[in-house]
Amino acid sequence: MPLEWSSCPPELLLAVDRSGGQPLRAQVEHGLRDAIRTGRVQLGERLPSSRELARTLGVSRGLVQECYAQLQAEGYLVTRPGSATRVAGGAVVPPAGTRPRRTASRLVADFRWGVPDLAAFPVQDWLWATREAARAMPTEDLGYGDPRGSRILREVLAGYLRRVRAAAADPEHIVVCNGYAQGLGLALHVLAAGGVRTVAFEDPGSPATVGACAAASGLRAVPVPVDEHGIDVSALAATGARAVLVTPAHQWPTGVALTAERRLALVDWASSHDAFILEDDYDAEFRYDREPVGALQGLAPDRVISLGTVSKSLAPALRIGWMVCPPHLVAALTEHKLRSDRGTSTLDQLALARLIESGRFDRHLRRMRGTYATRRTALLAALAEHAPGVPVTGLAAGFHAVAHLPADADEHHVVTTARERSVGLYGMSTCRASAATTPAQLVLGFGDVGERAITEAVAAVGHLLTGQP
């Protein structure tokens, strides 16, 4: 897409050598021609006015006008009365050796997990919140500010988390970060500095993410099995780990909720082993079978680091997350956050605070619960019609489900063949520490897939899910 400029003319870097023997006009023509051929200026892009380019190069305006006229005659430029001089269609030649970019084939539906309905992002509410935040923003907030994040957002988040997640949240103990991955990395780094050597994680879970963050902090990552009650605390104790990452409200990816007994056992484990629990509270707002499960952090605020973001509730592109930290870890986490990036965008933080304070965030969540519930129903209906007998679990909350394929199914074959039929499916093997493809299961994310696309896609691959030829 060509650049669009305001009334201020665009700049173009050209070099002229007055000490050489080549005439200035020839040098300017060659420079312009080369800039167009190599793609430095793109098709339809506006060039500087003859007056402005002449001033920049220190030559006469008439010389530049002659150069423009010559390149127009050669077909490189186009001018219209009352309009700027622009690069003509077909004038830009790709550099030698480059290949045209391939356009990915369009999928009927892409059941990728972890992606909310991006088209439903509340653009107008966010623009309103940004304007309100910018209008009321004190001048001093344009500086680097508190590395923990905006005081206003931390106060709003503390109130929101106490109200909605039953968290023991204090604004002094919240550190704002750039999404979940940064929060996890900061937490593991600080725990490693405090003597932790091994971090455990749920299996199935997120082995790649945890493994990468653990390795970056010099920690060993070990998997711990999950059953229908959540993480196996007895198996956790046997690992010797002093930190564990869990998703207690809606286990990723199986969808089970950590039972009350296991919650208490996990807290007891942390207390008796001088250990820490990292709670990923990734999609707890979206629950359909009952009221949302409270945050584990509320049971043991001195042992739990609760990680939250707006990646699922609003959009990943915002890159806003937070850590609700044990009081004695706040200083270390704040110091490491300061060394990492000097802070998260203050204006975006203030906009999020305004969005929550105004009630527009809650309104958006209510609307999205209805949207995801409708898609959940569409998925179940489509599977019942086109893949009868395929059990589906994990649908009590969030916007993904687990489909259990027949015992003799080849997970890789199902995923590959579905892609050939323009349907994006994803296997559970990616979520297993061993990468095992048995038992064969699919993780079906439906957050960014409409009801019609869900129905069409399941109809196209239903026979694959049931093992039919």
Instruction: Write out pLDDT tens, residues 304-326.
Output: 999 999 999 999 999 999 999 99
DSSP output for 200-260? EEEESS-HHHHHHHHHHTT-EEEEEEEETTEE-HHHHHHHT-SEEEE--SS-TTT-PPPPH
Cβ atoms 23, 68 nearer than 8 A: no
How far apart are the C-alpha atoms of 105 and 419, rounded to whole Å? 10
Measured in whole angstroms, the distance separating CA 402 from the mean position of its chain's CA atoms is 22
Fill in the DSSP letter of residue 8: S
**77 φ/ψ angles, rounded to the nearest 5 degrees:** -125, 160
Strand arrangement, sheet containing 400-404? 392-393, 400-404, 441-445
Which residue intervals of 259-359 are DSSP H helices?
Answer: 260-272, 330-341, 346-357
State the pLDDT at residue 92.
Answer: 59
Lowest-confidence pick of 169-178, 217-226, 281-290, 451-460: 281-290
- Residue 95 DSSP code: P
- Give the model's pLDDT for residue 3: 47
Confidence of residue 85 (pLDDT cuts 50, 70, 90): confident
Q: What is the pLDDT of residue 6?
A: 44
Residue 41 to residue 79: CA distance in whole angstroms: 16
Q: State the pLDDT at residue 287.
A: 79
Q: Are strands 198-203 and 243-246 parallel, antiparallel or unpaired?
A: parallel
CA distance linking residue 392 with residue 68, whole number of Å: 66
Exposed/middle/buried for 219, CB within 10 Å: 0-12, 13-18, 19+? Answer: buried
pLDDT digits (tens, 9 = 90+) for 30-63: 999 988 888 888 888 888 888 888 898 889 999 9
Rounded mean pLDDT of the chain?
91
Mean pLDDT throughout 462-469?
87
Q: 97 pLDDT exceeds 70?
A: no
Q: Which run of H or E residues covers position 174?
A: strand 174-177
Instruction: Specify the DSSP element, H or E, that contains 160.
Output: helix 151-165
Q: Catalogue the long-range contacts made by 74-81 (C-beta closer than 8 Å, 24 or more residues apart).
A: 74/33, 76/32, 76/33, 76/36, 77/36, 77/47
- The CA–CA distances, whole Å, from 436 to 85, 225, 429 equal 60, 14, 5
Average of pLDDT values for 391-405? 94
**pLDDT of residue 291 exceeding 70:** no
Structural domains of the chain, with CATH: 1-101 (1.10.10.10), 109-116+363-465 (3.90.1150.10), 121-362 (3.40.640.10)
User: How many residues are listed for the chain in this entry?
Assistant: 469
- In the chain, what percentage of residues exceed pLDDT 70? 93
Residue 26 is given by DSSP the state H
289 pLDDT band (50/70/90 cuts)?
low
| CA gap 391, 369 in Å, rounded | 23
Q: What is the mean pLDDT of residues 234-244?
A: 97
Rg (CA), the chain: 28
pLDDT surpasses 60 at 4: no
Average pLDDT of the segment spanning 171-179:
97
Please choose, from the candidates 465, 451, 450, 445, the residue with its C-alpha nearest in 3D space to the C-alpha of residue 402: 445
Query: Alpha-carbon distance 242 to 273, whole Å?
Result: 7
Mean pLDDT confidence for 216-233: 97
